[in-house]
């Protein structure tokens, strides 16, 4: 067997992308691995969809100097880049521009987001109430190795009915296939009631498709975090 066949796959990279000319876009984290992004074009198509770019993304630039990247190999793990279409790179302070004026609002939004709160959600009371006192687990999207897990509050004092909880996840998770029909553990076994959910554990929201057993935790949860060391149950 050749040494090439035995060579390990390149390690995954994590990068954050901003929208060109949008100083208030918070950035979107992407995890790159050779299995899911085999070409530059495939990656740019996914970026276009994920950051909701007004035009198809054609170029990536370094945020400070606007140096253009031309291939996947140019991306460096842990770095930040700006996604643009065919227009010129717009030099802004993407990492901090405009944040001082909106610091108070951003802090409130971050607190709300950590509890799964959305001002447009029909279930916003449930998402806000756990900020005061509750436990929490985390939910991945089935087959999605790009999006971080969504925090799911667990209120023992006023738990939701299972159908209501699935409807809430449908609104929050936004699966490509539509509604959330099942919630699975990382080993693929199905959760059938809210009483089975455990604080600090990770789950996968599944639609009407089959559960896809993928390394969600290994690729989407920062290594060395408290979540990694205490909450992962395979």
pTM (predicted TM-score): 0.44
> Of 84, 103, 125, which residue sits at a domain end?
84
Residue 71 falls inside a structural domain: yes
Residue 227 has which token pair? Answer: 């979540």
Residue 28 falls inside a structural domain: yes
> Of 50, 84, 118, which residue sits at a domain end?
84
- CATH code of 194's domain: 3.10.20.230
Q: Are 79 and 141 found together in one domain? A: no
Domain span at 150: 136-219
Q: List per-residue pLDDT tens for the chain, 234 residues long.
A: 554 555 555 677 889 999 998 877 888 888 887 777 889 999 999 898 888 888 899 999 999 889 999 899 899 988 999 999 989 999 888 877 534 334 444 554 554 455 444 434 434 444 434 444 457 889 999 988 888 888 888 776 666 788 888 888 888 887 777 789 999 999 999 998 888 888 889 999 998 889 999 999 988 887 655 443 333 333
Q: Are 151 and 78 found together in one domain? A: no
């Amino acid at each position: 067997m050749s040494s090439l066949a035995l060579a390990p796959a390149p390690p995954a990279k994590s990068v954050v992308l901003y929208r060109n000319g949008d100083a208030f876009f918070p950035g979107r984290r992407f995890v790159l691995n050779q299995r899911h992004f085999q070409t530059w074009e495939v990656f740019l198509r996914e970026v276009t969809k994920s950051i909701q770019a007004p035009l198809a993304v054609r170029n990536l630039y370094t945020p400070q100097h606007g140096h253009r990247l031309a291939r996947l190999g140019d991306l460096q793990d842990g770095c930040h880049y700006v996604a643009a279409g065919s227009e010129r790179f717009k030099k802004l302070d993407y990492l901090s521009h405009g944040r001082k004026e909106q610091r108070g609002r951003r802090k409130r939004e971050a607190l709300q987001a950590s509890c799964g709160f959305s001002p447009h959600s029909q279930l916003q009371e449930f998402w806000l109430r756990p900020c005061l006192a509750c436990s929490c687990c985390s939910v991945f999207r089935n087959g999605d190795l790009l999006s971080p897990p969504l925090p799911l509050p667990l209120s023992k004092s006023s738990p939701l009915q299972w159908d209501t909880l699935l409807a809430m996840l449908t609104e929050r998770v936004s699966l490509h296939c539509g509604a959330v029909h099942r919630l699975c553990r990382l080993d693929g076994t199905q959760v059938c009631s809210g009483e089975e959910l455990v604080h600090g554990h990770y789950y996968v929201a599944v639609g009407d498709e089959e559960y896809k057993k993928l390394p969600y935790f290994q690729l989407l949860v920062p290594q060395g975090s408290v979540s990694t060391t205490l909450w992962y149950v395979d």
